[in-house]
Structure 1
Amino acid sequence: MSQQIAEMVKKCESCRKESNVQQSPLLRFEFPSCPWEKLGSDLFYFDSKWFLLVVDYYSRFIKATLLEDLTISKVILHLKNIFARHGSQRS
């Protein structure tokens, strides 16, 4: 999937224009020792709809969920559902 995304970005004219913009350096972090130990999340707007995106840094698993409305209670509810379904079983 990562390669497909990279190919799509290469073909995207808007993406190429934005890639020339000066960006701050990426922060380094210690690689997680197991799945669901470290996650990234963000909200994004696409096709007139809001989505929640969660990425597991260990497996690079991507989960995108449509948000019915953009309230913190809905975001938290979706995060709880994602964690309950996919979260680590580690104690």
Structure 2
Amino acid sequence: MTSISSPAQLEYGLDTLFGRITKSVECRVGLEAVQDDPYRFALRVPAPLPENLDQAKTVVVWVEGRRLQGTVRHAERLDDESLKLEVEPD
């Protein structure tokens, strides 16, 4: 398991009754490979979680000098209260 230690800028899109809104936060994240799918990546965010992050449809993250973005295909709350988002790059 990847340790969560990298500070990042995270933007995430939420679908609402009024259309898509984007939220932006600074938080710590971990990047992980997705088992059996080398194309996707997983983003792990520790608690306390940014508001409504578990409902994100899209994410853009700047971490360790890289910019990663894509569509959230799966979100899972883990036993340690962190959130794991499986992301398919755009």
Band the TM-score falls in, shorter-chain normalisation? under 0.3
Q: Specify which structure has the higher proportion of helix.
A: 1
Q: Specify which structure has the higher proportion of strand.
A: 2
TM score, norm. by length of structure 1 = 0.26
Greater length-normalized contact order (CA 8 Å, ≥ 6 residues apart): 2
